[in-house]
Each structure stands twice: as structure tokens, then as C-alpha cells.
Amino acid sequence: MPASPCALRPLHLAFALDGPARRARRGPQAYDPEHYVRLARLAERGTLDFVTLGDSFARPGPDALAVLARVAPATGRVGLVPAVTTTHTEPFHVSTAVNTLDWVSRGRAGWTVEVSRSRAEARLFGRRDAAPADALWREAGEVADVAARLWDSWEDDAEIRDAATGRFVDRDKLHHVDFRGSSFSVRGPAITPRPPQGRPVVVVDASARAAREVAAAHADVALVRAEDPATAGDARADLRERTRALGRDPDRLRVLVSLPVELYCSGDAVGLADLIGDWHADGVSDGFHLRPADPERDLARLVDGTVPVLQHRCLLRRFYPGATLREHLGLPRPANRYAAARKVAP
């Protein structure tokens, strides 16, 4: 990566735009798009890989994916990763919405896979009872699976616009996905062409045991909540091992330590740079996802205090080397499974 003269392992940084869940987003700024635009632009100034925005039907706040779609045209580089839940939504709609976020952000979309566990959320829909975490995460894995199949269901060169034959698409390059999960099925293909990144970045918080297998099977980025380097290192090793066991290349999975931060002063910001540097040197993570106590204050301190120190120490890039979130993360654009299958077939 030419961005760093220091030839170190790249360090990836992400920031949660929402405060802690206990401090419910009830203030008027939670519904003000400019609030999110300000924060995302600040994160972009700090060359962060991406920002996340949590979501839940159980607490006040707008739809996270819509908020980050609103932020997209007001930013140019930073990755945009909303939480989207899979329990009460249609898998087809989830796939289409995340795909569309990738189009409107020109290749900067990701998606944090979440489940809705509470009875309160179940009652808002009246379709099914609350279920145990294991069952919900199994279904979430299926939703992540079918979403990715739908993203692949248009090959990249499916649109041919061939005036001579009158054909807009080559329909041999559009594919029914015919997915049958344990609780739903989807015929396909997608109604939306393959997104700019091929597949938007899939993020899974793998801290809970029930989510770990889903992360190993489907995530590009796994978040791990850990309080010390040893725990983080163990979790990373476990995730990489599971990934390998599933036949995936573990180097295609970025494991970020998800840390709560509270930066009261510039000294705290430098302290965070020290901590990040130490953990990163130990090889226990590929980067950090920071969860602030106060998003505005803590992001400003991070960008003005922590980031310059990390850059000075050659731990962090000084500019974005690419345009898409996959490029920031050093992840290749995935090959299309259907195109590969078609080339193998006689």
C-alpha cells in the first residue's frame, strides 16, 4: 500500500456514530440529518475506514440505513455501515436496500447484521414470537447468504444494450437464486444490478457466541468486544480458525476490536493512540471499532488527537488510497459465483 512509507500491517479504524444504547437517541439531533453529516465528514477527515450506525425497532431513532443514505452524497470516501435487522424484515428487501446504499454511495456501503430478540419487537409485527438467539442467528446467516446470492444474481456484464438484437440484458447472465432457508425462500434474481463493490461489506458483531459462526461464514469484518489484548487475540484466532474450517481464506476476514471510548481531554486521545499501537503491535487485531460515550466530543478528539499521533507513528495512512470501502479494508472485489459456475459449465 503506497499510502504508508512504513510498511506496517494496515490498521483499520471505525467509529460508531450513535452513543451507548442506554443513552437512547431521544434528543432532536437524533432526527437531524446535519448531525450525522457533520460526524461522517469529521470521520472522513480522519481517514477512518467506516462509520457504523446501530438500529433497533425497540428504541427511538430513525432508520439507520436511510440516515446513511442521506449522508452518502455529502461525503466522498468514508465507508457507511448501518445495522439492518433480519428477524422481522424481508430478506429480499434487506438485500435490495443494502445494494442500493452501495449505489448511492458509489461503493462505500456495508451492513451490520443484527437480530431482533425482544418480545417488544415481536409485538410490533405480530407475525412471530420472540425466539432464542441461536435460532435468530441461524436465520440471520441465511439472510446474509441469500443477500449475497442476490447481489451476485446479476453478473457484472449482464447489461449489454445491444441495439442490433434489441436486447438490453444478456439474460444468461441473470440468475434465479432459488434459495430455501429454514423459514423463508427467495426465487430471484435481484431487481437491482450487482452493486459497485460486487458485494457490500458484511459486518457481524461476533462477541456473542451465537453470532460467531455467522461471522466466520459470511462476514468481511468481525467485531469483537474485548477488554484486554489476550481476549482479543483469542477471539481473532478462533474466528480465523472457524473461517478456515468453512473453506474461506482467513486473510479475507478483518477482525476489529470493538472498544468503548471516552475521551475527556487531549491526553486521553494520546492514551488511546498508545493503546491502539500496543494492541496492534501484538498482532491481536486488524484494527478497532470505537464506541463513544459522546459521539461529537469523542470523534473530534479522536480525529484531532489520536489520528495524528497514529499517523506520526506510521501506524495509520494519511489519505484514502482507494474509493470503495473494500479498498480501504484491503479486501478484493469478490468474484461472481454465478459467472464462475457458468464458465466451468460446458
Partner 1 sequence: MTTTTAPSRAPSAAPPLRRMHLAAHFPGVNNTTVWTDARAASQIDFASFEHLARTAERGRFDFFFLAEGLRLREHKGRIHDLDVMGRPEAITVLSALAAVTDRLGLAATVSATFNEPYELARRLASLDHLSGGRAAWNVVTTSDAFTGENFRRGGFLDRADRYVRAAEFVATTRALWDSWPTGGTARPVAHQGPHFSVRGEFTLPRSPQGHPVIIQAGDSAEGRDFAAATADVVFTRHSTLEAGQEFYADVKARLAVHGRDADSLKIMPGVTFVLGDTAADAQERAATIRRQQVSPQNALVALEQVWGVDLSAYDPDGPLPDFDPDPDSQLAQGRVRIGDPKAVADRWRALSEAKGLSIRETVIETTGRQSFVGTPAAVAEEMAAFVAGRAADGFILIPHLTPDGLDGFVDRVVPLLQERGVLRTEYEGATLRSHLGLPEPVRPAGKG
Does the footprint of partner 1 cover residue 66 (CB under 8 A)? yes
Question: Stretches 57-65, 264-272, 293-301, 332-340: which one binds partner 1 (CB under 8 A)?
Answer: 57-65
Does the footprint of partner 1 cover residue 189 (CB under 8 A)? yes
Does the footprint of partner 1 cover residue 185 (CB under 8 A)? yes
Does the footprint of partner 1 cover residue 141 (CB under 8 A)? no
Does the footprint of partner 1 cover residue 169 (CB under 8 A)? yes
Does the footprint of partner 1 cover residue 88 (CB under 8 A)? yes
Among 165, 182, 343, 346, binds partner 1 (CB under 8 A): 165
Does the footprint of partner 1 cover residue 174 (CB under 8 A)? yes
Among 47, 52, 99, 285, binds partner 1 (CB under 8 A): 99
Does the footprint of partner 1 cover residue 180 (CB under 8 A)? no
Among 9, 41, 59, 244, binds partner 1 (CB under 8 A): 59
Comparison of 161 and 343: residue with beta carbon closer to partner 1: 161
Does the footprint of partner 1 cover residue 127 (CB under 8 A)? yes
Question: Stretches 178-186, 236-244, 274-282, 297-305: which one binds partner 1 (CB under 8 A)?
Answer: 178-186
Among 120, 230, 237, 335, binds partner 1 (CB under 8 A): 120
C-alpha cell of residue 133: 438467539
How many residues touch partner 1 under the rule CB under 8 A: the total is 62
Neighbours of 233 (CB within 10 A): 19
Question: Per residue in 287-315, is it b (16+ CB within 10 Å) or e — as a string?
Answer: bbbbbbebbeebbbbbbebbbbbbbeeeb
Does the footprint of partner 1 cover residue 184 (CB under 8 A)? yes
Q: How far is the CB of 171 from partner 1 (least distance, A)?
A: 4
Comparison of 108 and 242: residue with beta carbon closer to partner 1: 108
C-alpha cell of residue 65: 440505513
Among 19, 91, 141, 305, binds partner 1 (CB under 8 A): 91
Does the footprint of partner 1 cover residue 330 (CB under 8 A)? no
Does the footprint of partner 1 cover residue 65 (CB under 8 A)? yes
Residue 167 pairs in a beta bridge with 162
Q: How far apart are the first and last CA of the chain?
A: 39
Does the footprint of partner 1 cover residue 324 (CB under 8 A)? no
Does the footprint of partner 1 cover residue 111 (CB under 8 A)? no
Interacting residues toward partner 1 by CB under 8 A:
31, 33, 37, 57, 59-63, 65-67, 69-74, 88-93, 96-97, 99-101, 103-106, 120-121, 123-127, 154, 159, 161, 163, 165-171, 174, 183-189, 191-193
